[in-house]
Each structure stands twice: as C-alpha cells, then as structure tokens.
Structure 1
Amino acid sequence: MEGYLMPALLLALHILQLFNHINPCTATGKTNTQYIKRSCSVTIYPRLCYHSLSIYAGKIKTDPKILAHTALNVTLAATQESSVIMRRLSEIHGLKPIETAAVLDCMEEIGDAIDELQQSLDELGHVVRGSNFWFQMSDIQTWVSAALTDEDTCMDGFEEHHLRGRVEAVVRRYTVNVAHLTSNALALINSYASSKAALP
C-alpha cells in the first residue's frame, strides 16, 4: 500500500503546482476583464463597450490610457468599414438619384469623422502628464465630439427626404453602430482625463 501511496502523493503535489502556476494568470485575466466591465459602466452603451473591448483585455490590462486608445482604434476601424460599405452602396445600379445623393452625403460626413478620429488617436499617442496634458486632452475631446456630430448628421439626407428601404436601413445600422462606439470612446477618454486629474 505504501508503495502506491508515494507516487500518488507526488502526482497530487505535481497537480497542485500546476494549479498554483495557472491560477495567477487566470486571476489576472479576470481582473483585466472586470476592469473593462467596470470602466464601461460610465458609458451610455456599456454592453457594446464591454463586447468590443473585452477581447483586448490582455493588452489593456488596467491602464485607462490604453483602454481609451483601444476604444478609439476599434471605433476608427468600424467607421472605416462603414465608409467602405457606403461606397459600395453608392455604386449599386438602380438606386434612385436621391438615394445615391443621400449615401454620398453620408460618406462625406463619415470621411470627416474618420479624419477626426485619426487625429484623436495620433494625439492620444503623444499625451504625457505635464503642462500640455489638458490642452492635448481638450483637443482629443473636441475631435471625438466632432466625429460624433458628423456621424449623427450622416442620416440627415435620408430623413429630410423621408427615404426608407434597404439602403437606408443598412446605412442607419452602420451609422448607429459607429456613433455608439464613438460615444463610448469619448466617455472613456473623459474618464482617463478624470483619472489623471485625481492624481496629486
């Protein structure tokens, strides 16, 4: 019996060591995702925020600047995708001229939003704590707010002419998604700025 007991004890110790080795990583991963969930609670669309950012938890960890930067990156990518979709829509044969015009107007607004989001990303990458911090953050907040306004304006052409149908539905779906992502990114940027203000 004793001959069997020693290998069993060694095996149990080996398994215990494995669990001790794995647990810190698992705990860290859980801490990172919980941080994102908690941070997303300040946004208007917390579920979208968590869903779009939790896959980057390992990169974000618990860093508010990286969180804001990642949110902007995700928003920019979605906005660029929307621009591609709208370009394809504008080239569909059989569209009414008024529908084509509305899509092209929307594309212009989305193009402006892309430029503003890119400027925000570039500036956030150069932000450092110091005398220029609030000036830089103010610029970033202004650009992201302007992008949000452009996205909201995108649907004006459709609404002005009471256009309904598949084209309008696709444009609305993509526009609403990027507007919600932009709103969330702005909230996380504001939260990052606030976290710096709280430091001595």
Structure 2
Amino acid sequence: MEVSFLGLALAAILILQLSTPINSSCSATRPLPARNTNIEYIKTSCYNTTIYPKLCYHTLAIYASKIKTNPKTLANTALNVSLINTDSTSRLMKRVSKIPGLEPRVVAAMLDCVEEVGDSVYELQRSMEEMGHAGGSNFTMVMSDVETWVSAALTDDDTCLDGFAEEAMNKKVKAIVKRHIQRIARLTSNALALVNRFASTQDGLP
C-alpha cells in the first residue's frame, strides 16, 4: 500500500504540473484596450451559449487575437483546446493505470478509461478535420458530422467516469480520474455548444 500511495501522490503532482500552464496563462491574461472587442465577443459567446461559461472564457480569451469575432474560428479553437487537454489526460490515465499496487478492478476501470479517452481524442480530431470542410452547399451536412463526432467524444468521457461510480473504488484514483475527466468533458461540452452555435448560422460564413 505504501508503494501505491507514493505512486498516486506522484501522479497527483504530475496532474497539477500538466494543468498549471493553462491555468497560469489564463490568470495572467488581461485584455488590452485594442483587444476589448475580441475579448467581449468571446465572453458574450461563452456566457450566452455554454454550460460552463467561466471555463469557456478563461480557456479561450488567450486566443482573442486569433479568434477576433469569427464564430467558426471560435468553435475551432474550442475544439482544439478540448483536444489538447483530452490528449494530455489520455497519456496521464495510462501512467496512472501502471501505478504498482492497484487493485485488479481499479486497473480494469483505468484501462477502460484509457480506451474511452483515446476514442475521445480520435473523435475530436475527426471533428476538427470536418470543420475544415464546412462551407458552401454542404455546410449543413458537414456540421451535422462535426456535431456527431463531438457528441461521441463527450459520451466517451462520461463512460469513463461511469467506471468509477462504485463507492468501494480506490478513492485516490477516483479523485484523480474524476477531476480530469470532468474537466475535459466540460471543455468538450463547451466546444459542442459553440459548434452548434456556428452551425445555426446555416450559411457557414464568418
């Protein structure tokens, strides 16, 4: 058990290190006067559209100069933020699953989670590829495909959490999984909301 506890502690430290760059960069970001319009656009879009507006705003505001007031770029950026975080979480889950001393059922749940999050990475990649084709006469069909891929990614994140629903599950591992899977699920939920918003423009023009 000592080995397991030490491994989990190290894993928790690793998780904090992985999440720190995003948090620190967000907290240090302060909109400059010249960027006020872009910042306000992102803030309004997040608060009027997403379920987790604070997370949406703080993860996208740093890209204000790129996003400007373009709904497609906003949706694309949200997808990319979700993909980056999901990919990092996937690699982290693999490390945690290899911690010595974990109970077999915990290892099994972790391996299932690794697979689910890996699928989520693939689905987000596909959604971004499809977004590149959005426009013109096939806009509605392409956006339907994008929404399907992102929805599938969100479902996979939720499925991963389901594997740790048991009360008897290792609490330390459960806390690690819950914290990070919830984060990427919320990022993906926000991305889906912004994709849906962009899709509602129908013509696909900025």
TM-score normalised by L of structure 1: 0.83
Q: How far apart, in 2, do the equivalents of 1:137 and 1:198 lie?
A: 9
CA RMSD of aligned residues (A): 1.7
Q: How far apart, in 1, do the equivalents of 2:190 and 2:37 lie?
A: 21
Matched, 1:53 2:41: no
Post-superposition Cα deviations, 1:68-97, rounded to whole Å, max 9, x if no partner, equal 000000000000011011000011111111
The structure 2 residue matched to 1:82, chosen from 89, 102, 105, is 89
Deviant stretches of 4+, over 6 Å: none
Deviation (angstroms), 1:197: 5.2
Matched, 1:145 2:187: no
Assess if the C-alpha contact under 8 Å between 2:198 and 2:204 holds in 1.
no
Give the structure 2 partner of residue 190 of structure 1.
Answer: 196
Give the structure 1 partner of residue 141 of structure 2.
Answer: 135
The runs of 5 or more residues in structure 2 that have no matched partner are 1-30
Assess if the C-alpha contact under 8 Å between 2:50 and 2:194 holds in 1.
yes
The structure 2 residue matched to 1:167, chosen from 170, 173, 191, is 173
Q: How far apart, in 2, do the equivalents of 1:162 and 1:151 lie?
A: 21
1:1-200 superposed matches below 5 A: 26-41=32-47, 42-128=49-135, 130-160=136-166, 162-196=168-202
Q: How far apart, in 2, do the equivalents of 1:159 and 1:39 lie?
A: 33
Q: Which has the larger radius of gyration?
A: 1
Q: How far apart, in 2, do the equivalents of 1:169 and 1:143 lie?
A: 27
Identical-pair percentage: 56
Report how many residues are paired.
Answer: 174
Deviation (angstroms), 1:126: 2.1
TM-score normalised by L of structure 2: 0.80
Aligned with 1:131: secondary structure?
helix
